[in-house]
């Protein structure tokens, strides 16, 4: 650990004031969305995956990845083959840098969540997303993503959120429609954070 970085869940995580991050911000200015820092929902997801881990070597898609800590964690802890997707291409270098300093490789795509098709989702074992309902207008888009993943037979779709009412409404709707797990989730010290988790299983397409 160095100044302006810390260790959590086996990862080295850089903070905004770290020289590497400051250099990236000069090179890739002007984030169009909100993937401009580490969000606490990433820690909620990682803590949840410690309790309910991925199968080793899973094919994972992270949607709305931002700095992509959940992607890096999945690749490092579970040897996952990860594709990290975000609508804002300017955040992807931050993800790629975190992947590099943590010794993992993954693929990145600049793409809007709404444009993902069920056919594209069908090749993944797990879809993850953290804090992707940051606008109320995204709630329908995220609900549609969950429905697409369920229809495509993706075994696990796991989303976390800091507790926004819009996410609660969406998660309750998805659980009622598709079943699965929906709950508050507390992350213990030293992070001392909290959020919501939704996990939906895929439809049996056999």
Q: Per-residue pLDDT tens for 71-83?
A: 999 999 999 999 9
Which tokens in the block code for residue 61? Answer: 């898609």
**CA 45, 76, 127, 135 torsion: positive or negative?**
positive
Specify the residue for token string 């993850």. 128
What DSSP character marks residue 188? -
Structure confidence at residue 129 as a pLDDT band (50, 70, 90): very high
Write down the pTM of the prediction: 0.92
Consecutive H or E run containing 152: helix 139-152
Question: Which runs of E-coded beta strand occur in 15-125?
Answer: 59-63, 81-86, 107-110
Place of tokens 């002007």: 30
pLDDT digits (tens, 9 = 90+) for 170-196: 999 999 999 999 999 999 999 999 999
Residue 158: pLDDT over 70: yes
């Amino acid at each position: 650990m160095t100044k302006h970085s810390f260790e959590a869940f086996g990862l080295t995580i850089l903070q905004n004031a770290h020289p590497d991050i400051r250099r990236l911000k000069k090179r890739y200015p002007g984030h169009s969305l909100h993937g401009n820092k580490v969000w606490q929902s990433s820690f909620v997801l990682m803590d949840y995956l410690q309790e309910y881990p991925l199968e080793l070597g899973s094919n994972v898609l992270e949607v709305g990845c931002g700095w992509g800590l959940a992607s890096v964690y999945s690749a490092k802890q579970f040897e996952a083959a990860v594709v990290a997707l975000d609508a804002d291409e300017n955040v992807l270098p931050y993800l790629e840098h975190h992947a590099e300093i943590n010794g993992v490789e993954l693929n990145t795509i600049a793409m809007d969540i709404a444009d993902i098709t069920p056919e594209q989702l069908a090749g993944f074992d797990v879809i993850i997303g953290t804090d992707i309902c940051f606008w109320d207008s995204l709630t329908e888009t995220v609900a549609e993503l969950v429905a697409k993943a369920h229809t495509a037979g993706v075994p696990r779709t796991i989303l976390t959120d800091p507790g926004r009412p819009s996410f609660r409404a969406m998660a309750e709707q998805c659980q009622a429609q598709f079943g699965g797990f929906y709950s508050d989730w507390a992350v213990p010290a030293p992070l001392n954070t909290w959020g919501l988790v939704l996990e939906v299983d895929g439809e049996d397409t056999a």
